Structure 1
Amino acid sequence: MNIARFSVKRPVTLGMLTISMVVLGLISVLRIPLESFPSISSSSVRVGVNYASASPEELERDITLPLEQSLAMLGNVERISARSGGNSSNVSVEFKTGTDMDLAVMEVRDRVDQARVLLPPDVERISLFRWQSDDRPILDADLAWKGDEGRLFDIVRKVVEPRLLRLDGVANVGIDGIEEKQLLIHLDQQRLASYGVSLGQLAFQLRANNINVSLGRVLDGGRRYQVRARGEFAFVEEIGAMPILGGDLKLADLGTVTYDYPERERFERLNGRDAVEVEIFKASSANTVEVAQLARDELERISAEYDLLDIRITRDRAEQILGELSNLTDAALLGSLLAVGIIFLFLRSIRSTIVVAAAIPVSVCCVFTGLYVAREFFGSAVTLNMVSMMGLMLAVGMLVDPAVVTLESIFRRRQDEGEGPEQAAVKGTGEVGMAVIASSLTTMCVFIPFFFLSTGRVSRWMGDAGLTICIAVAVSTIVSLAVIPLASSRLFRAGLERYDGYLKVLVAALIMSVVGWKLNSLGWDGLAAWAGTTGARVVETTLSMKPITAGVFGVAALALTGIGWRCRRKGMRSSYTSLLAWTLDHRSVTVVGAAALMGLGIWLYTDIEQRGTPWQSERRVDLTIEAERSFSLDEVDALFREIEQDLLTHATEIDLESLSTRIRHGGGSIRARLVDADEGRLTTM
């Protein structure tokens, strides 16, 4: 292959290119956003209209049909469905795959505005909904105040919300559970009837006396003045003193006018105290981890400034993302070490192992560069998430396959045929070059169809994995045809055998350093916690294994032991030759055995439970409590307070970290968040 000859003849050029790609990969991995899952958006838009005191027939006739007729004129529409009932009308428009949804939403809004004149005049608001995975909050926090409840609302509105909105990358801050003061007018029906005043007259007079309008401009002495009529109410007493119908009757004579908190219809508490839930949403182009860290730091500063303010982070997507990516990184690192160990076990050459091992980090860095280029120059929405990192982890084994094939061909020409290191590198690569390329293209053809699957959300997920694997396979092919020949031509030179012992010590020290670094990051407490939780569960699961499962594992262990004993006694190559000769002499038995294994696999596939996403346990317990309809809100609140008090009293025994409560008429829910599994003594199972 010309690329192999170029790499051998131009070592400095190829070395600089390789180092440049590694550096670009390290820079790219810092610039690619970190997410939990790929970004997914729906291809449908829902138009919702609330219209109180209307029957389903009226909703369909007056609202649904005019909206449907107007929206039917849109282009690229796949289907239009509507539902009328429950004092609301909902029309959903599903667009064809590949439609620019940002432009489609604008067209839907225009069509709705055109149909507005056909709707009843008392329709106040028309809402448009489009589901996107990025619309989920990145951080949820419960805020409780240890003093006056009214002070909590002021702190949230005047301090917490403005300071969070000023952070870079924060698009919106949602607040749930806050109660604000309202102007309340409680009228006496008997007085209204005795004075002959209707509610319509009162509403009209309140609107007429609460105005702030522009009266135009006044020119005086060459100067121009803006004139406004300001007749808005400034105090509650002014509203109560407003004369009714131009007589001596005042609004306060017909009822009471107050500025106070309305009657509560629900309660939210954190650890038994009234709380407010704050949800933080990020901008579409912002990094989830960075924005969540900024928000967390700001909340910590606010908590330090107000001693009576209790802030608990109930959900942080950044921690989830970092934890999942850390687990995948550890799994990929362990897989790489095992792959290198297996290669050394079969090749029995430390220099050959180093050549193949060097291909893994170089290829991984080049993959990150490819992902960044796909985002910036080809409009791809790929991010570093669970799916793309899983694809990279699966591709770790594929990264070494072309390198092993190329190295074996070079090694055979160098050792068996006695060729020089450079000649063996060029000719050995040339022998297997086309086979390596064909094998890589075959692997890529399996995942390329994922790019054309766009009829569901799962296909969007698999697209990230497919892109990562295809880039990894292409990069590993280039590395095996360029970097491997260069490294082989330098490490397979005569006289370097005397350094094999030092190389083994160096590689062993490097592996031990990595293992020690991971153990140090866990610490003795972490190891003890792992042994008490995960280790205990492994032992418990093993001891509670069913007899059939234990028998299968026992037979498999005996078979592996027998194979290992034979390979050690007669050699692996001799054992494989004997097995191959036996299968060729007993072809019918081999075919029947292969068919039996395939049938067993099909039966197991049909017997295994199938579901869209795997079930994952969380360190929390949700309780939903329903009360009789005859119970008042205060009675339901008293019931929940007893439950909260009981749980908080035994918090240490049940590994309880925090308790969030939501109460409404007819019942409510309690969410108990537990301490981390490494710190707790109980499981959620």
Structure 2
Amino acid sequence: MLQKFISKPVLSTVISIIIVILGLLGLFTLPISQYPDIAPPTVEVTASYQGANADVVRNSVLIPLEEQINGVENMQYMTSTAGNDGSATITIYFDLGTDPDLAAMNVQNRVNKANSLLPEEVIRAGVSTSKKQTSLVYIFSLHSTKDTYDQNFLQNYVNLNILPKLKRVNGIGDAFIYGARDYSMRIWLKPDVMASYGLVPNDVIAKLRQQNIEAAPGKFGVNGDQAFQYTIKYKGRLQTASEFGNIIVRADKDGHILRLDDIAKVELGALSYGSSTTTQGYPSTSIAVSQTAGSNAYELINECQRIIEESSKDFPSGIEYSPFLNANEFLNASIEKVEHTLIEAFILVFIVVFIFLQDFRSTLIPAISVPVAIVGTFFFLKVFGFTINLLTLFALVLAIGIVVDDAIVVVEAVHAKLDEGAKSARKATLSAMSEISSAIVSITLVMAAVFVPVSFIGGSAGVFYKQFGLTLAIAIVISAVNALTLSPALCAIFLKPHSEDHHKKKTGIQRFYAGFNIAFNAITAKYVKGVQFLLKRKWLALGSIAAFSVLSWFLIKNTPTGFVPAEDSRAIFGNVILPPSASLERTEALTDQIDSIIRTVPEVESSTRMAGQDLISGAGGSYGAFFIRLKDWEERAGEGQDIESVVNNLFNKTSGIKGANIIFFAAPTLQGFGNTNGFEFNLQDRTANDMDQFSGVVQNYLGAINQRPEILYATTSFNNNFPQFELEVDIAKCEMAGITPDQVLAVMQGYYGGIYASDFNRFNKQYRVMVQSDPVFSAKPEDLHAVMVKTVQGEMVPITQFVTLKKVYGSEFIRRFNLYTSANVTGVPAPGYSSGDAVKAIQEVADENLPKQFGYEFAGLSREEVSSGS
């Protein structure tokens, strides 16, 4: 069989050409990613209970949903958050390889079972289920170049003109805006005027739902003898603030009409006023994009960029967009470096082979065979469903030094036959291949046996090893095919019988060869003497092997472990936590101060600050966040300009700011494991103890873990010291007045919590109508005296006769992990320590400090690291 390839080189050439063509097809169609997709598929369930606090949301929304969702097929773990803003979020993580569409469908079926247990207000607002990853692949800001446009305008401009396009991109898990500044028709009630007319919020809500309606009045002329039919149209929902202001609340028999704008201020405002955003000091809005599990992030980001670039042509004057996080930038830069390394490796191999073979024709054979093996590998990467990523490219770089050996073996064997006196290259090749073909097959099987078994490793780490190992194995197998087909054919064509005067030429290159051979032979002679020395002293050789084995074992045990190294992606996150119940205005002032400091750092290109947002937990007036984009890597090539140094510099520059906990951290290396780049775990209260007791346990643990040298910092957003007021209803007094606690609480919700009363259409979108007290009447607890409730006799009585306020302390958010109340802890290992060292410290401190009824579980990338044994 081998004789055919040698005698018919066209056959060998065709086989190689086919391999190259298939490889090129794979190369140009393979998806590109930074690393193999190891992020677990996730499904998110969100709901909103307007006006409810975190405790109510947990008890009435989270717990019923969690109990139904828990145990859904292939579920790994589940996290949930209830906020004082009425928000409820549940995120379910599934085993790697789970079909995200099937996972979302299974979760939705479980949610449907729980709907009957949820409050009516929650059902009305909607419970949504979506499949998306927890980390973000693209973030950008739309900002005013001056103070021309406010945040309301910017956010709704994005909502109308950009967000719908982004959400249609294939692979988008979600595209959302930080801060709910959607348009909303705000009905700001005036409690004193309402009381003078004997009205309560539910009276207004009833009129809204009666008069702001869509209707289907029908047609004239149906089933009749008329020649024409006419459709009857009703104006439908109201659209403008003036139209809503004209809603008739009461019409007396004497002709007096009470309209909505008589008892309330009506305006087109925002759905929420709990956050604000600036970029480079000017009003802005920040948009984030997440992907679905298994989608191609590279193509997704490119398509998002194309949409934004096209949309920017229509931006009003004075509006610009600024990218913050673009995962493709680091990916492109990394792949470019690997491509350079690949080319450099090939050139170095070519030079080394040329020096040792000392014949251009001989060197040409491996120089042709190696690219065939490397390019052909891409076809099989496509077949196996792999991607072009840093691991597969690194495997190909390593493969160059391995696959070249097969071609060199063939060339050397043919040269040996020519040295023995073979009269033609063809005969020398036939003779050589008959001797070494079995050896080539054996070498290939041995090399494949080294790398193929890693494909059976499970978990996230197994995906890494699988793509790396199989890529190498494929390249080695293709190289063996070349060694049995292409290389012999090229030897028969290119090589020539050795002549008598072959080595007697006195050219410069031959003199270099002679000098090199003398030096190499001298080194070889010393090596042989060393081997002979050890052969006579076998105990020394065995002792050296034993010593090196012990040393290797010691180094393995003491070398810091980690899942993946941290990378410089040009993106830094900042998080700020002010004292409990700090106002949004106070947070804005402090974050503006921090923002001005950030922009003085030379390596920073731009910064976006958000007040009222927390990148780790959620939203709240005492929270702030930053998106910090660094300059291009080429502009930060100097010492101390890498991302870790910039993060340390930011810590130093902001360390003098008092009254807030400020942290900075680099964007995560791996997508799909949250927004943090360090470690993440959850302390759990497994017996539903008092929250104050749990808070004490958490603070005690944080105090201990932050004393460990492996930890730079560990922090949590859990804080049970937010001042709150507990409302107590005197049921006996309610009964005597002929009213129910429901009526009292409905008045409280209508004035202080806000009620989603109706909808309206404008700008081709649907928005909410919100009813709430004018902020002037709800600024402080004493304003409650102006609120009236209607008795059964129709009298208006101060609500303070039926309720009392008690000052208490609680949490802004309640987090749960696998059905237990938890405190999410994030942090970063100290310089010189790895994530593996940090994980070990976390476990040791937990064993020493956590009481029996409390526990902990890792989350995100830390969970994958622990499960993989890294």
Q: TM-score, normalised by structure 1?
A: 0.77
**Whole-angstrom CA distance in 2 between matches of 1:166 and 1:270:** 27
Distance between the aligned counterparts of 2:394 and 2:504, measured in 1?
35
Moved more, 404-413 or 79-88: 79-88
Matches within 5 A, 1:340-489: 340-372=350-382, 374=383, 380-416=384-420, 418=422, 420-454=424-458, 456-489=459-492
Instruction: Return the alpha-carbon distance in structure 2 between the equivalents of residues 302 and 504 of structure 1.
Output: 64
1:550 — aligned with what?
A: none
Indicate the SS of the match to 2:624: strand
What aligned pairs does 1:120-159 form with structure 2 within 5 A after superposition? 120-124=119-123, 125-128=126-129, 130-132=131-133, 136-138=136-138, 140-150=140-150, 152-153=154-155, 155-159=157-161
Give the aligned partner of residue 558 of structure 1.
none
Residue matched to 1:673:
629
Q: CA deviation at 1:312?
A: 1.9
Tell me which amino acid in the other structure corresponds to 1:491: F
Alignment counterpart, residue 195 of structure 2, candidates 193, 207, 229: 193
* 1:177–1:275 Cα contact (<8 Å) kept: no
AA in 1 matched with 2:452: I
Secondary structure of 2:267 counterpart: strand
- Please give the secondary structure, in 2, of the residue aligned with 1:433: helix
Aligned residue for 2:610?
662
Work out the CA distance in 2 between the residues paired with 1:59 and 1:167.
34
Contact persistence 1:136–1:281 (CA under 8 A): yes
Aligned to 2:40: 42
Give 2:245's match in structure 1, choosing from 231, 235, 240: 240
Q: 1:312-340: CA deviations, max 9, x gaps?
A: 22222222222111111111222222223
State the Cα deviation string for residues 295-353 of structure 1 (Å, max 9, x = none): 44554455466552222222222222221111111112222222233333433333322
Following TM superposition, by how much is the alpha carbon of 1:355 offset from its aligned partner in structure 2, in angstroms? 1.4
In structure 2, C-alpha distance between the alignment counterparts of 1:100 and 1:480, rounded to whole Å: 41
- 1:336 — aligned with what? 346
> Relative to structure 2, which stretch is displaced further, 271-280 or 197-206?
271-280
Alignment RMSD? 4.1
Q: What is the distance in 2 between the residues matched to 1:167 and 1:95?
A: 24
The letter of the residue matching 2:21 is: V
Offset at residue 286 of structure 1 (A):
7.6
Q: Is the 8 A contact 1:143 1:278 kept in 2?
A: no
Cα contact 2:156–2:183 (8 A) shared by 1: no
Inter-partner Cα distance in structure 2 for 1:30 and 1:272: 43
The alignment partner of 1:568 has SS state of: helix
Task: State the Cα deviation string for residues 496-524 of structure 1 (Å, max 9, x = none).
Answer: 998999x999xx9xxxxxxxxxxxxxxxx
Bigger drift between 469-478 and 27-36 goes to 27-36
Residue number in structure 1 paired with 2:641: 683
Q: 1:624 to 1:606 in 2, by over 3 A?
A: same
Deviations 1:35-92 (A, max 9, x none): 22222452665656656758979967987468646876x6x55778787976788877
Q: Tell me if the contact between 2:41 and 2:292 (Cα under 8 Å) persists in the aligned partners.
A: no
CA distance in 2, matches of 1:57, 1:355: 75
- Unpaired segments ≥5 residues, structure 2: 613-620, 646-870
| TM-aligned CA distance change 1:345 to 1:596, over 3 Å | farther
Q: In structure 1, which of residues 576, 579, 586 is the aligned counterpart of residue 537 of structure 2?
A: 586
The separation in 2 between residues aligned to 1:674 and 1:110, in whole angstroms, is 44
How far is 1:479 from its partner?
0.9
Is the contact between residue 448 and residue 476 of structure 2 (CA under 8 Å) also seen in structure 1? yes
**1:591, 1:498 → 2: CA distance?**
45
Stretch deviating more after TM superposition (135-144 or 187-196): 135-144
Give, as a single letter, the amino acid of the residue that structure 1 aligns with 2:482: V
Take 2:181 and 2:475, find their aligned partners in 1: how far apart are those partners?
54
- Provide the C-alpha distance between the structure 2 equivalents of 1:39 and 1:285, rounded to a whole number of angstroms: 7
2: CA distance, partners of 1:8 / 1:95: 54
Corresponding position of 1:532: none
2:9 counterpart (1, 8, 11):
11
How do residues 520-539 of structure 1 correspond to structure 2 at under 5 angstroms?
Answer: none
| Aligned equivalent of 1:544 | none
Deviations 1:400-455 (A, max 9, x none): 1222223322222222353632222223223222222222223223333343334x
* SS of corresponding position for 2:497: coil
Mark the CA change 1:251 to 1:48 in structure 2 (over 3 Å): closer, same or farther. Answer: closer
1:22 is aligned, of 20, 23, 43, to 20
Residue by residue, what CA displacement relative to the aligned partner does 1:640-665 show, whole Å, maximum 9, x if unpaired?
434444554x46xx233212212223
Q: Which moved more, 1:254-263 or 1:436-445?
A: 254-263
Structure 2 Cα separation of the partners of residues 92 and 643 of structure 1:
32
1:546 corresponding residue in structure 2? none
**Amino acid corresponding to residue 241 of structure 2 in structure 1:** V
- How far apart are 1:169 and its partner, in Å? 8.1
Query: More displaced, 224-233 or 251-260?
Result: 224-233
Aligned mates of 1:338, 1:278 — CA distance in 2? 46
What residue identity is the alignment partner of 1:588?
A: W
Distance in 1 (alpha carbons) for counterparts of 2:69 and 2:168: 40
The 3-state SS of whatever aligns with 1:196 is coil
Change (3 A) 1:498 1:153: farther
Identify the match of residue 495 of structure 2 among 492, 495, 517. 492
| Rounded Cα–Cα distance in structure 2 between residues aligned with 1:676 and 1:633 | 34
Tell me by how many angstroms 1:7 deviates: 1.4
Say if 1:215 and 1:227, in contact at 8 Å, map to a contact too: yes
Alignment correspondent of 1:614: 565
1:210 to 209, 212, 222: 212
1:602 counterpart (553, 556, 563)? 553
**One-letter identity of the residue aligned with 1:637:** E
* Paired residue secondary structure (1:615): coil
Greater Cα shift, 476-485 or 33-42: 33-42
Taking the aligned partners of 1:215 and 1:206, their CA distance within structure 2 comes to 20
User: Partner amino acid for 1:273?
Assistant: Y
Whole-Å Cα distance in 2 between the matches of residues 594 and 646 of structure 1?
57
Between Structure 1 and Structure 2, how many residues are aligned? 613
Inter-CA distance 138–415: structure 2 relative to 1 (3 Å threshold):
farther
Amino acid at match of 1:584: L
Matched, 1:272 2:281: yes
Q: Is the 2:142–2:286 contact (alpha carbons within 8 Å) kept by the matching residues of 1?
A: yes
Q: Which residue of 1 aligns with 2:522?
A: 571
Deviation larger for 184-193 or 665-674: 665-674
How far residue 570 of structure 1 moved from its aligned partner, in angstroms, is 5.3
Amino acid at match of 1:241: N
Give distance in 1, aligned partners of 2:90 and 2:104: 14
- Aligned identity (percent) is 21
TM-score between both structures, scaled by the size of structure 2: 0.62
Go from structure 1 to structure 2 and tell me whether the alpha carbon gap of 1:386 and 1:346 turns closer, same or farther (over 3 Å shift). same
- Counterpart code for 2:206: F
Equivalence for 2:662: none
CA spacing shift, 1:615–1:71, aligned 2, 3 Å: closer
Deviation by residue 1:525-566 (Cα, 9 ceiling, x = unmatched): xxxxxxxxxxxxxxxxxxxxxxxxxxxxxxxxxxxxxxx999
Q: Distance in 2 between matches of 1:26 and 1:500?
A: 44
Structure 2 residue identity aligned to 1:112: V
Distance 1:131 1:647, change over 3 A: closer
Match of 2:260 in 1: 251
CA deviation profile, 1:229-253 (whole Å, cap 9, x unmatched):
4342243223223232433333223
The structure richer in helix per residue is 1
SS of the counterpart of 1:678? Answer: helix
